[in-house]
Amino acid sequence: MNDQVSRESFDFVKDKSIKLAIVVSKPTLKMFMKGLKFAVGKPAKAAGHAIGQKIHPTEGKQSVKTLIRQGQGVSTIPLADEGLKDFQKIAKKYGVDFAVVKDKSQEPPVYTIFFKAKDQDAVTQILNDYAAKQIKKSSVKKTSVLEKLKKFKEIVAAIPKKVVEKKKERSL
């Protein structure tokens, strides 16, 4: 009988300890929400910062509205169509904030470049580099591959062909 009582009390204690372990290990809704907030909060802040950077980039090409919203004054220069890519490369090199607007009324299209007034010295340097690059481009005349091929065909056609004389000698 004593053995049976101790076994019942052991089962009772065992059941209570299991229930206690389950209760302790079960996360409450409050703990779950806190953990979720912590896990989601950090990336959300980083994502919000990244979205903010995408909407308002700190430097480089951006919209006119974004450029004006920065409140540092805006200046403009006109630019022809063929030099837009070169201008953008050089402006990126100097880290200048700029915006490009296409004037659709003119043929060929003319682009207006907006930039911050505080970047005036940098833009002057960009324009100097851009002008040097455009002059270098125009001075170097590129010939097409087909023209080169045609020229070499004419040279090859002008070369006289060798006449090979074949003589056979008979030996006795």
98, 115 contact by CB (below 8 A) = yes
The correct answer on CATH 1.10.490 for the domain covering 64-142 is: no
Q: Give every CB contact of residue 60 below 8 A, 6+ residues apart in sequence.
A: 91, 92, 95, 96, 97, 98
- Answer yes or no: pTM beyond 0.75: no
**Neighbour order of strands in the sheet with 110-116:** 74-80, 110-116, 98-103
pLDDT band with cut points at 50, 70 and 90 for residue 17:
low
pLDDT confidence of residue 95: 81
Q: Which two tokens stand for residue 90?
A: 């050089």
Count of H-run helices and E-run strands, the chain:
6, 3
Lowest mean pLDDT segment, chosen from 15-29, 102-116, 132-146: 15-29
Q: What is the dihedral of CA 122, 126, 128, 134, to 10 degrees?
A: -170
* Spans of all domains in the chain: 2-53, 64-142
Per-residue pLDDT tens digits for 25-83? 566 677 767 776 766 666 555 555 555 555 555 677 888 888 887 777 888 888 877 77
Other beta carbons less than 10 A from residue 145's beta carbon: 8
